[in-house]
Amino acid sequence: MDEAADMDETAGTAGAETGIDHRLLTAIHARGVDPRLAAAARALSRAGEHGTLWLAAGLAGAALDGARRGAWLRATALTAGAHLAGMGVKRIVRRPRPTHVEHLVRTAGRHSFPSAHATSAAAAAVAYGALGAHAVPPLAAAMCLSRLVVGVHYPSDVAAGAALGALAARVGTPWVRAGARRAGGGVRD
């Protein structure tokens, strides 16, 4: 067992959670030996950097769905806001990225909790899902999983980021729906 795992085992309850985190990441990251899976995970990770994929999707929705443009822009703002909130939490918590597995991508920062990729992905899944974008939730789930495959987050980082993003977007969903109703466009309940 390596030194980090020894520390995890001796740190009490938090250590038990970190030990599980460590083992789950190791197991999921091992799937990245398949070159096709590793390539897909790298591509998703790059596309999700700074919430780029999700912001572009929201702006595309606004451009293509003129009747609900305002609602799409509101959903995009929620996604951006959730991403920024995740970045703020990351700066406060300052948890280091995993070091026991090889990182398959470069990262913009050194800190890992919460996963900003997962935060913006989950926010987009909820916010754009409320507008009927049913392809977003599975893509968001794949984005979250990609962060484990490439080895740059612990599962708890991804879970916390997804929870933060989903909660932020869920709180703002009535605002998105109000924008869609004003435009006479339908929304999903």
Which domains are seen in the chain, by residue range? 3-182 (1.20.144)
pLDDT 10s digits, 170-181? 888 777 777 666
Look at residue 4 in the predicted model and tell me its pLDDT.
Answer: 43
- Helix, strand, or coil here: 152? coil
Using CA of residue 150, residue 113, residue 125, residue 63, what is the dihedral sign? negative
Using CA of residue 160, residue 169, residue 46, residue 31, what is the dihedral sign? positive
Q: Which residue has the tokens 């959903």?
A: 75
Look at residue 179 in the predicted model and tell me its pLDDT.
Answer: 65
Query: pLDDT tens track of the chain, all 189 residues?
Result: 344 443 433 333 344 456 888 888 788 778 777 888 888 888 988 998 888 999 999 999 999 988 888 889 989 999 999 999 999 998 998 888 887 877 767 887 788 899 999 999 999 999 998 888 888 889 999 999 888 888 888 898 999 999 999 999 888 877 777 766 665 555 444
Count CB neighbours of 1 within 10 A.
8
Look at residue 184 in the predicted model and tell me its pLDDT.
Answer: 55
